[in-house]
Structure 1
Amino acid sequence: MQISKEELLNQINAVNKNTLMETLGIEVVDYTDNTLTARMPVTPKVHQPDGVLHGGATAALAESVGSYAAHIFTDRDQFFVRGLEITANHLKAVKSGFVYAKATFLHKGRTTQLLDIRVTDDEDNLISICRLSTITLPKQK
């Protein structure tokens, strides 16, 4: 039985309890066959001391959305996904509102995946460009 988009988004967001994603306020808001989008509020909780979005929080958002994307397109009963490498180029500062991370598959292999993650603000300005590689590994029986 296939579940609805809304149900899957609710399931994804429900597992964020007591995790970094909950701490940062990350919420998955949309997906397609090749993309997944999440958002994160830009508040003092994710600021650098000078009042702008911390690059580490942006990288955590990017890794979260990319890992979720690889995860939901995997047989979760048999496999798990782990991040291998992430790069982040920060292009613009943000002080408030939301940032949105959209992960798009560049390679969707059985074992490795490569995702392009673009982080934008409320006005669709490009904030960061990230790349994430993940690996899919079999669960131990």
Structure 2
Amino acid sequence: MFDPASDRANPAFWNRASHERLPGHLGVEVTAIGAGAVEGRLAIAPHHLAPNGYLHAATVIGLADTLCGYGCSANLPEGAAGFTTIELKANFLGTATEGAITARATMLHGGRTTQVWDADVLHAETGRRIAAFRCTQAILWPRP
């Protein structure tokens, strides 16, 4: 359950947590987080591109999956110990070579045992959709 008074309701909390972890190395920046939604961005740099010169799929997945995971963590049911991803899927609809990509992740389903999150990834400068992403998270509970 999202608690607006929690540290987890603050984008700065997630940006600090990303430091020296994969999201930090990718350059993921959380810009907003709330009940059932997270927004973020990533400035495209040469290391985000595949050898063909276009945005690497793993960069897009990294942004989308990070935002969905942070959203799940911030919106866990009361008493839950955490979560783990059990499935993810992406449809790539475009690409980019410069500028930034943004994403908005939203909770489609928030149950006691699973959450389902969607994220639309857009090219920031043109507004074109780069990818549609969906993941399912298993909610973990403390062992008795």
State the TM-score, normalizing by the size of structure 2: 0.87
Question: What root-mean-square deviation, in Å, do the aligned CA atoms of Structure 1 and Structure 2 show?
Answer: 2.3
* Mapping 1:97-112, distance limit 5 Å: 97-112=99-114
Q: Who is 1:81 aligned against?
A: 83
Amino acid at match of 1:16: S
Mapped pair 1:130 → 2:133: yes
d(CA) in 1 for partners of 2:19 and 2:78?
19
Unaligned 5+ residue runs, structure 1? none
Whole-angstrom distance in 2 between the partners of 1:5 and 1:94: 33
Displacement of 1:30 in angstroms is: 1.0
Aligned counterparts of 1:76 and 1:82: Cα–Cα separation in 2: 16
Does structure 1 residue 118 correspond to structure 2 residue 126?
Answer: no
Q: Which amino acid aligns with 1:79?
A: A
Contact 2:88–2:136 at 8 Å: present in 1 too?
A: yes
Structure 2 residue 26 is the aligned partner of structure 1 residue 24: yes
* Structure 2 portions without partners, runs of 5+: none
User: Where do 4+ consecutive residues of structure 1 move more than 4 Å?
Assistant: 4-7, 75-78
Distance 1:6-1:67 versus aligned 2 partners, 3 A rule? closer
Counterparts of 1:7 and 1:135 in 2: how far apart (Å)? Answer: 21
Look up the match of 2:62: 60
Alignment of 1:36-75 (within 5 A): 36-74=38-76
The Cα of 1:76 is off from its aligned counterpart by 8.1
CA–CA distance in structure 2, aligned partners of residues 67 and 78 of structure 1: 14
- Contact kept, 8 Å, 1:63 with 1:83, in 2: the verdict is no
Inter-CA distance 80–128: structure 2 relative to 1 (3 Å threshold): same
